[in-house]
A and B are shown apart, each in its own frame.
Chain A
Amino acid sequence: MIKAQQISYKHKEFHILDAVDVSLGYGEFLAIVGPNGAGKSSLLSVLANEVKSKQEILFKDKNISDWHVQELSKHKAKFSQHNSNDIPLEVKDVVMMGRYPYFDAQPRQEDHEAMNNMMYETDVYHLKDREYNTLSGGEKQRVHLSRVMAQLQNEIEKKLVFLDEPLNNLDIKHQYKALEIIKKFTENSNSAIVVLHDLNLAAQFADKILLMKSGKVAAYGTPTEVFTAENISKAYNFPCTICDHPITNNPMIIFG
């Protein structure tokens, strides 16, 4: 799906990313975890072609900067960490933006369907006529999730979604709902790269984990491989214990 080697990114002599390798297969759910300032968001920006790096990033075996902007928007979408607080539009107008790559002047039937479906799934359908600016932080977050996922509702196979801390401000129920939507998306050989803070949720939902520290990859592999007490304590500089999740048998991390 996406392949990049030795990504480095500097800001004023400060190495934000230092020789990071990323490779993601079709249908994989990759969670990027790590302490603050580890370079998680920067890595996501580089991979999503927001900032140019010197190294080549291959998206579906073609250099990502060689893709046509509009064509690319049907194959990949990104959920940003800092969504605008001031969008003087109604919720349904914001979600419909996700369909902009598909129509010229007038949304077609399928655009309305994609919009409505995603609003149902993210539980914002009842807010569709509300003004976006009057929503709470978590509700805004769900509106954008809805928009980003609606953007990838199409016939194209093997799509990729980037999500930068999509669970911020969400309550427990909606955290699980959001992750379930992403998980369902990856079941049809689509892939997802998600920056997460909650290690237990990452262990439960992700296929692969990329643990970062100070711009470098600290560990990479399946949740069981990466989430060892040693790896995590070292990366976060904080003691922890690992045990088995009583239901899923995934690693469960208890801090302190």
Chain B
Amino acid sequence: MKAQSKLYFYITISTILLAIIAVWSLNTGVYDFGGKSAFEVLRKVIQGDESLSLSDKYVVWDVRASRIIMAILVGSMLAVSGTTLQGLFKNPLATGEAIGLTSGATLLAAIAIVLGGYFKQYLPEMVQFSLTGISAFIGALLAMMLVYRISTSSGKTNVVMMLLSGVAITSIGFSITGFLIYISKDEQLRDLTFWNMGSLAGATWTKNIVLSGVILIAYSILLPKGKALNAMLLGEKDAEHLGINVEKLKKQIVIITSLMIGTCVAFSGTIGFVGLIVPYILRLLFKSNYTFILPLSAVLGSILLLIADTISRSIVAPSELPIGILTSLIGGPIFIAILIKFKKSL
């Protein structure tokens, strides 16, 4: 089979799998629709059936369906941002959490929540509404630039420096976020805890529209970059000889991954390790061939997060398990597995 048709084959298969999981997820939950299945209700919602009770419609459409879509969008973005970061740093350990991007985003989002109240009224309405989102983006961007500056010189990344600067940024973020929690009021505290735990429970259709917009811009630029990321494996100078504008590529990756991670953090808090697990699995199958793992991580990320979210909201029903617990439980051992493999090549 030719490489290209092989790629389409895998994308089709995984998209079908994603659809099946979405159907399963829609029908999973504690709410009783009075003998009907969730699909019947969904069909009635789409047909605009008048006989449908408001609470049925609310549960299927505004709670479950919007949450499923959000899991798909967030999971996809987290996985793709992980994959592109690994391409940029030429290392499978580079992810938003490991190098401090997530902490940077969380920190500035937290500052916006706690201190934002004091100057919010002076800002234009549009900015007020998206203050946490924009702050999270800026936080991720600043962390990213700092890590890249520290760890990369003349086109080569020092992996130890990369991970250690991530540790430093995370600890700074941790202490300041801790301080903010200490001084914050009750209502802010609830918001802050939510950022730290990570959850998709706050899903709404408005958020999904914003996420879709971000994903559309990000993917139209990033997804065709598979070849360029492969060439980066040769080193930046050799990539340039292959006709790739490396400086422009790096800027695009820095800005867009920060945008994606910032948006995800703003809407769903810190959901760790998706950007590590998904490329890890894909690398087992396709090595580091980014023309495969970049587009496929977009679908596999959705699958992973949707499964994790459905489990987390049904396993201890009617209560809910924070989703970060599940993803970290899978991600931690994988991180160690990569480290052990990496030790040999040091």
| Contacts A83-B234, A84-B233, A86-B345 given; does A97 touch B242 at CB 8 Å | yes
| CB 8 Å contact bits of A30-54 with B (1 = contact, 0 = none) | 0000000000000000001010000
Q: Which residues of B contact A101 (CB under 8 A)?
A: 242-243
- Chain B interface residue number, banded: 20 to 34
B241 touches A77 (CB 8 A): yes
Closest to A104 in B: B224
Interface status of A216 (Cβ within 8 A of chain B): no
- Which of A69, A84, A90, A105 contacts B235, CB < 8 Å? A84
A48 to B241, CA, bound (A): 9
B289 touches A89 (CB 8 A): yes
Interface status of B287 (Cβ within 8 A of chain A): yes
B242 touches A50 (CB 8 A): no
Q: Which residues of B contact A74 (CB under 8 A)?
A: 243
- Which of A93, A100, A105, A131 contacts B242, CB < 8 Å? A100
Q: How far is the CB of A233 from chain B (nearest CB, A)?
A: 35
Interface status of B107 (Cβ within 8 A of chain A): no
Q: How far is the CB of A125 from chain B (nearest CB, A)?
A: 18
A97 touches B230 (CB 8 A): yes
Number of interface residues of A (CB under 8 A): 31
B233 touches A80 (CB 8 A): no
A69 touches B245 (CB 8 A): yes
A83 to B78, CA, bound (A): 32
Interface status of A175 (Cβ within 8 A of chain B): no
| CB 8 Å contact bits of A134-159 with B (1 = contact, 0 = none) | 00000000000000000100000000
A93 touches B289 (CB 8 A): yes
| Contacts A88-B287, A100-B231, A106-B4 given; does A80 touch B243 at CB 8 Å | no
Closest to B236 in A: A50
Interface status of A169 (Cβ within 8 A of chain B): no
- Which of A73, A86, A88 contacts B241, CB < 8 Å? A73
Binding site for B on A (CB under 8 A): 48, 50, 69-74, 76-78, 80, 82-84, 86-90, 93, 97-98, 100-101, 104-107, 131, 151
A-B contact pairs, 14 of them (CB 8 A): A50-B237, A70-B243, A70-B245, A76-B241, A78-B238, A82-B235, A83-B238, A84-B234, A87-B234, A89-B287, A93-B230, A97-B230, A97-B231, A100-B227
